[in-house]
Amino acid sequence: MDTSRISSTRLTDKKCVPCNLKELRPMNEDAARTLMPQVTEWNLANEDGVMKLRRSWTVKTFNKGLEFFRRVAALAENEGHHPDLHLVGWNNVTIEIWTHAIGGLTENDFILAAKIDKLDVLDLLRRKPSD
């Protein structure tokens, strides 16, 4: 059987595509909402018409926040897709993801968010995300 055309729809099984592809278009809010169930810890934000994914964590120390970023950076480099990283008030890590090249959300952003969720960062957190 030729399985080459069968691709999983799970975000974590996908890989980000380069953002400079001509055919890349920002998804509308309906399309974004259909993917949100796969990244339930993330919020959909709309800043001046630009949709973004946003999630926050509370880390134990400032240094653990930096370590958090190092782990995310390794993933982002591997995907060729990069989040905005904020370390606010020493122990709040906030990550925003959108596709800068086109000023909106693409599947890349959801893939990156889903893969960030899979990182083992529990040792860095002051409390578990759901607390």
Q: Which residue from 12, 15, 18, 88 is in contact with ligand H2B, where contact means CB under 6 A?
A: 18
Q: Shortest approach of ligand H2B to residue 100 CB, angstroms?
A: 4
For the CB of residue 101, give the shortest distance to ligand H2B in the complex, in Å: 3
Q: Judged by CB under 6 A, does residue 14 bind ligand H2B?
A: no
> How far, in Å, CA of 108 to CA of 89, rounded?
29
Could you give the 3-state DSSP secondary structure of residue 39? coil
Q: Residue from 20, 49, 89, 123 that binds ligand H2B (CB under 6 A)?
A: 20
Helix (H, G, I), strand (E, B) or coil at 125: strand
- Report which residue type is found at 57: W
Question: Please, which of residues 77-116 interact with ligand H2B by CB under 6 A?
Answer: 80-82, 99-101
- Closest separation between CB of residue 89 and ligand H2B, Å? 24
Give dist(CA 107, CA 11) in Å, integer.
8
Which residue, 80 or 129, is less far from ligand H2B as judged by CB? 80
Binding-site residue total for ligand H2B (CB under 6 A)? Answer: 9
**Rounded Cα gap, residues 57 and 98, in angstroms:** 18
Report in angstroms the alpha-carbon separations of 98 from 23, 38, 52, 107.
16, 16, 5, 10
Residue 86 bridge partners (DSSP): 94
Q: Which of residues 38-57 bind ligand H2B (CB under 6 A)?
A: none
Contact set with ligand H2B (CB under 6 A): 18-20, 80-82, 99-101
